[in-house]
């Protein structure tokens, strides 16, 4: 019975998320001034993300080397693999949201 309640709650949550997403996508992107401000914010966020990934990459490589030397080589590889996939998934999400925003502005 508990499992059924969980599945129903998940289904309701997903349907609510889809509904909210579709309602937001139907709305107008705003005035030309709002679009210019959004483009400026996008430029700043792109610079921030590039800097953040640079720092994260340096730290990840240092931790990878440390784990490989101190613990075992496969622990370092597992850590680096996790970091790579985490950054890759975030970058994919970021690029996808950027594409959707640019599409709505044009």
pLDDT in tens, 32-67: 898 888 889 889 988 888 898 888 888 888 888 998
| Number of structural domains the chain divides into | 1
3 found inside a domain: no
Confirm whether pTM is higher than 0.75.
no
Residue 22 lies in a domain: no
* Measured distance CA(90)–CA(95) in Å, rounded: 9
What pLDDT score does 9 carry? 95
Expressed as residue numbers, the domain containing 70 is 32-105
Is 12 among the domain residues?
Answer: no
The answer to whether residues 65 and 76 touch, using CB atoms and an 8 Å cutoff, is yes
19 located within any domain: no
Mean pLDDT of 1-6: 89
């Amino acid at each position: 019975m508990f499992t059924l309640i969980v599945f129903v709650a998940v289904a309701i949550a997903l349907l609510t998320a889809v509904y909210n997403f579709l309602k937001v996508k139907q709305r107008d992107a705003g005035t030309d001034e709002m679009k210019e401000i959004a483009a400026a914010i996008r430029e700043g966020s792109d610079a921030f993300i590039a800097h953040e990934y640079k720092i994260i990459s340096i730290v990840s490589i240092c931790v990878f080397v440390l784990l490989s030397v101190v613990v075992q080589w496969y622990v370092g590889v597992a850590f680096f693999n996790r970091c790579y996939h985490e950054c890759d998934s975030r970058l994919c999400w970021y690029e996808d949201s950027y594409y959707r925003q640019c599409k709505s502005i044009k």
